[in-house]
Amino acid sequence: MSILIRGAQVLDGTGKPSYQADALVQSDRISAIGNLGKRNADHIIEAAGMYIAPGFIDVNTDADHYLSLFTNPSQKDFLLQGVTTIIGGHCGSSLAPLLYGTLESVRKWADPDLINVDWHTVAEFLAVLERRRIGVNFGTFVGHSTVRRSLTAQGQRELTKPELAVFRKVLQRALEEGAFGLSTGLGYVHGRGTPYKEIKALLQIVADFKGIYATHLRSESEGLLDSVRETVTAADETHVTTIISHFKPLIGFEKEYHESLQLLEGKSGSAPVYFDMYPYDTSASPIYTLLPLWAQGNTETMMKNITDPELAAKIIADLREMKAEDITIASAPRNDFLIGKTLASIARNQEMSAGQALLKVLQMLNLRGIVFYKNINFEVVLETLHHSRCFIASNGSSLPKGEHSLQHERSLKTFPKFLQIALRDKLMPLHEAIKKITSFPAEKLNLKDRGVLQEKKIADLVVFKNAVIQNVIVNGELVVENGTYREGALEGKVLRHND
């Protein structure tokens, strides 16, 4: 179907100011831009008074972690906010490669039994997605913990030399098959003890493929500056372009955050370090991460820690400063009645302290579940969104209708909200804000033919007015019309790095 968009203000994604023009889409390409007069098409969008831009690119999503690529393949919550391309496999967890065909690395987010796994390699996984079809373009990193947990049988020990050699071969094959790079979840239990030398050895393989390193830092609080230093060192020593995932200014650690930003700004070397963030004051985290670091471990260890009377008392004492009113239960497997309740309200109901309430909830949930925690300094977020090293990312997922969980606003409105903030607070001109969510990530991810609105480029397009999304085109097909998703539209493509 050919599509003619008439009379729009064109924001081409390159950072140039807008200009008025028509745009013609034929097949999956932009075939013409300009004054197209009375030219006809199968479908005409009258866009006078509106903007047209390249489809937005979300560099950090949880669509795979929550398995919603399978349970909700349309991923329409991304489409409805103008996002046409998403990247998964973050924070050390990906859906491939799977050495033994298990999805244990995502169980902190979702129930691995939700889907049947019929793949092992990245190539097989991407082929499955192509057969099933999805609503957005999707690419993936290799999750460090996904591979490592298989090699060490869940243990948090150092890899042996033979195990590291196997890991390097697995990573090399995954990159050959189209993975965008490697991600680590160094703040999580199964990644925290990873030695630097292991990361460096793996990034040397990533460098050979001109891939990307995405990392969830070892610490986002007391150890933030050291964690950023480690990341910068890895980028410099391996020459791998690096992205710090969901780099957020936690309340109480603003000084460390500003010092970390200064470190990134002053970085010299051959490989830049970027970061992504979302325009919200609330984070979403696995519930077990509320425990003191010393009490975290594998499932068995943590369950022992929270049920042992002496250790439980020590945990509760360490949680005295926890702001229970700011913590909301977002998902609670097999305990839906907890969803939407704050930890403080649960504590009041049970006539116990917040720490006691947390341990009780952890036992009820068998350590699984997600919490929303209002722990981000939003003023610092606003100061940082315009940063030249900053990507805008939702770190969210489009869940199926009726899912037994709360959906964070970042999964629904990240990109329109960013545009609203850019305009309202005059963070940057609109054409620069559009560049930040289109050609800027496309260039760094090496997404050829995407991220710019030019003739012969892929027709991933967004039409919007006042930061409200009106129409979305994915690979030349209209999937959102007048703000409504066209049911059954699954026009996304599987993306392979360097294709």
Give pLDDT, residue 268: 61
pLDDT of residue 155: 63
CA quadruple 429, 457, 135, 123: dihedral positive or negative? negative
Identify the residue whose tokens are 């050699």. 165
pTM metric for this prediction: 0.95
As a whole number of angstroms, the distance between CA 357 and CA 354 comes to: 5
Distance CA 74, CA 153 (A): 35
Q: What is d(CA 311, CA 34) in angstroms, rounded to the nearest whole number?
A: 70
Question: What are the residues facing 185 on neighbouring strands?
Answer: 216
DSSP-derived 3-state class of residue 273: strand
Give the dihedral of Cα atoms 101, 104, 410, 354; nearest 10 deg: 170
Distance CA 461, CA 446 (A): 18
Asked whether the bond before 54 is cis by omega within 30 degrees of 0, the reply is: no
Closest CA to 136 of 59, 72, 71, 76: 76
Tokens, residue 171: 């990573």
With b for 16 or more beta-carbon neighbours within 10 A and e for fewer, the 115-143 pattern comes to: eebebebbbebbebbeeeebbbbbbbbbb
Q: What is the per-residue pLDDT for 269? A: 66
Distance (Å, whole) CA 94 – CA 73: 17
Residue for token pair 């925290």: 192
In the chain, where the domains are located: 3-54+452-485, 56-281+376-408, 286-373
For residue 145 the two structure tokens come to 């913990």
User: What pLDDT does residue 154 have?
Assistant: 63
Give dist(CA 113, CA 103) in Å, integer.
Answer: 8
3-class state of residue 225 by DSSP: helix
327 contact partners, CB below 8 Å, separation of at least 6: 290, 342, 343, 344, 371, 372, 373, 374
Is the separation of the CB atoms in 22 and 36 below 8 Å?
A: yes
Give the pLDDT of the chain (499 residues) as one tens digit per residue: 899 999 999 999 999 999 999 999 999 999 999 999 888 999 999 999 999 999 999 999 999 999 999 999 999 999 999 999 999 999 999 999 999 878 888 888 888 888 889 999 999 999 999 999 999 999 999 999 999 999 987 667 899 999 999 999 999 999 999 999 999 999 988 898 899 999 999 999 999 999 999 999 999 999 999 999 999 999 999 999 999 999 999 999 999 999 999 999 877 667 889 999 999 999 999 999 999 999 998 888 999 999 999 999 999 999 998 999 999 999 998 899 999 999 999 999 999 999 999 999 999 999 999 999 999 999 999 999 999 999 999 999 999 887 778 889 999 999 999 999 998 878 899 999 999 999 999 999 999 999 999 999 999 999 999 999 999 999 999 999 999 999 999 999 999 998 8
In angstroms, the CA 298 to CA 46 distance is 56
> What fold does the segment set 56-281+376-408 form as a domain?
TIM Barrel (3.20.20)
The kind and range of the H/E element at 296 are: none
Per-residue model confidence (pLDDT) at position 200? 98
Which residues, in sequence order, are bridge partners of residue 26?
29
* Residue 37 CB partners (closer than 8 Å, separation 6+): none
DSSP state of 141: P
Alpha-carbon gap, residue 189 to 181, rounded angstroms: 22
What is the dotted CATH code of the domain comprising 3-54+452-485?
Answer: 2.30.40.10
